[in-house]
Amino acid sequence: MTRHIVALGGGADSDEGTAKLLDYVTDLTQKERPRICFLPTAAGDANEAVVRFYETWAGRGELCHVKFFPWPPPRLREHMLSQDVVVVSGGNTANMLAIWRLHGLDAVLHEAWERGVVLTGGSAGMNCWFEACVTDSFGPQLEALHDGLAFLAGSACPHYDREELRRPTYRRLVDDGFPTGVAADDGVALHYEGTELAEAVSVREGAHAYRVESGAETPLPTRWL
Residues identified as active-site: 123, 159
User: In whole angstroms, what separates CA 225 from the centre of its chain?
Assistant: 18
Helices (H) and strands (E) in the chain, counts: 7, 14
Rounded to the nearest 5°, which phi and psi values hold at 222?
A: -130, 120
Q: How many CB atoms lie within 10 A of CB 10?
A: 23
d(CA 26, CA 56): 13
Question: Hey, is 212 helix, strand or coil?
Answer: strand
Question: Hey, is 125 helix, strand or coil?
Answer: helix
Task: Tell whether the torsion through CA atoms of 132, 162, 94 and 58 is positive or negative.
Answer: negative
Whether the CB-CB separation of 137 and 95 falls below 8 Å is answered with yes
The residues, ordered by sequence, that sit 6+ positions from 168 with a Cβ below 8 Å of its Cβ are none
Question: Hey, is 53 helix, strand or coil?
Answer: helix
